[in-house]
Structure 1
């Protein structure tokens, strides 16, 4: 039987997140595989994949903080806000100084309101925005609140009318780095799009833990579900009586461990459940005990 747990994949370029799931299904020999937080085909880096019971963790893990290395090209706009799309406009970025770049990035740091890219998986009236965009329909997407915790310039390179800005971004779930590139270019009056994106961290899982597809084909490393939960969420160890209550979907008294999910473990160290504290009670979000 396949171990329940997480596989931290270093996604290659030109693979969709769904391609990675398909490959993991074959390697793990199970249909019960999913992923947390989609990466665009152009992007590489950390993709968290859940196997068997760990697929029920993914919705909770998708909400955690993420970190990226990115390159933004100023001077060109595309219809996808990244290098996968067609160039729709060009305007010289030769006038853009380092100080202007820093000021533009500062304005996109902190809690911001962000309009997602036209070509995205967001649903509008039940249909994916990218499907509507492909049909030539104008998609009206509403701005959403996101938080850019850190947006730091790591390099600036100039080539004629184009300026490439290397940056490191730490952000909340739901933040589009493509949209940051688009909005930086718009603010600087020259347009911009993303030419490189590598996700370096999702919550506690970083590139140091990630394995390439080739490495996983040789040795499928699955982080056991208990270890995965202990790494990502506060841990609560309970008595045998409380363990029985949780295993049957019952509530426990709250332990003051915060608003997010908490991992509950039996006296022998087995993962029992993820719970969420509401008032005086800890209510099960997902029960893993057999």
Structure 2
């Protein structure tokens, strides 16, 4: 198998592009892409596609994600995480648990969120983080996201020394966040701290799920053996979409671009078109009872 979806447990300290580069070398192919980046600070599930299965990545990017994270209350930074410079330090010892819980509830459900300044969002054709590094002031527009779960699982206090040499008490929160695509957990940390009046930033982040895929099933990057770790495109598509199991004649007709009547209801989203031999022929929409191709897989990978 030279095409499929690869789940990788990204280690801390490297970029998502670094992971792609290593997988390219290990798999012996240049055609490798990923469905959503993780910052160097973050660890956890990175979903990659190899060869023709990169065509599936578009449909994986928008899936909900789950994160385990640690938020430090009492310190604000330029990047909203521990890799940035400290901009303000406040003693957080007086912040009550009830206030924290209220702040978490206020940031749950459908919310409007301003992405962190050092993000990959493009501003006038350039990445926001590149502009920020050059000292250009970046103003990003708020976006609507959905926080399905924002829960606190542990609370600790710690002492840090601020820029003036004073020892102040901060509070660390271990949290779980389940959210829609496009959510910035760093921004949640920033906004929670701001709402409590003490500032906040992210000190650890781990992505544990992307849609139905979990980090427990991911391969370790060090010494990765790509082929046995690949998920077949059919198996991935069947977990994400309704399935149309074609006959041999339907497989041939669809491959020739003919209109094919489908015995399922019209759909607003993709349907996995699967051949009798179990190959993924492509993704289709069903309109007025007929299959309309969205994306096809190479004919040499598909057999009736």
State the TM-score bracket (shorter-chain normalisation): over 0.9
Alignment pair present for 1:199 and 2:198: no
Task: Spell out, residue by residue over 1:3-40, the C-alpha distance to the aligned partner (whole angstroms, 9 max, x if none).
Answer: 20011000000110000000000010000000001000
The residue aligned with 1:119 is 118
Shift of 1:114: 0.8
Structure 2 distance, partners of 1:184, 1:21, is 33
The residue aligned with 1:183 is 191
Report which of the two structures shows the higher radius of gyration computed on alpha carbons: 2
Within-5 A mapping of 1:1-290: 3-160=2-159, 161-217=169-225, 221-250=229-258, 252-253=260-261, 255-256=264-265, 258-277=267-286, 281-290=290-299
Single out whichever of 104-113 and 254-263 deviates more from structure 2: 254-263
Q: Is residue 250–residue 284 contact of structure 1 (8 Å, CA) maintained in 2?
A: no
3-state DSSP of counterpart to 2:95: coil
- TM-score, structure 1 normalization: 0.94
Shift of 1:258: 4.4
Structure 2 distance, partners of 1:24, 1:73, is 34
Give ranges in structure 2 of 5+ residues lacking alignment. Answer: 160-168, 300-304
Shift of 1:259: 2.8
Shift of 1:273: 0.5
Single out whichever of 43-52 and 253-262 deviates more from structure 2: 253-262
Single out whichever of 58-67 and 248-257 deviates more from structure 2: 248-257
- TM-score, structure 2 normalization: 0.90
Shift of 1:93: 1.3
Q: Is residue 250–residue 283 contact of structure 1 (8 Å, CA) maintained in 2?
A: no
Structure 2 distance, partners of 1:249, 1:14, is 47
3-state DSSP of counterpart to 1:118: coil
Structure 1 distance, partners of 2:128, 2:79, is 11
Structure 2 distance, partners of 1:218, 1:285, is 28
Task: Spell out, residue by residue over 1:76-113, the C-alpha distance to the aligned partner (whole angstroms, 9 max, x if none).
Answer: 11111111111111112112111111111111111111
Decide whether aligned partners of structure 1 residues 106 and 262 sit closer, same or farther in structure 2, where only a CA change above 3 A counts. Answer: same
Give ranges in structure 1 of 5+ residues lacking alignment. Answer: none
Decide whether aligned partners of structure 1 residues 278 and 97 sit closer, same or farther in structure 2, where only a CA change above 3 A counts. Answer: farther
Decide whether aligned partners of structure 1 residues 244 and 107 sit closer, same or farther in structure 2, where only a CA change above 3 A counts. Answer: same
Q: How many residues align?
A: 289
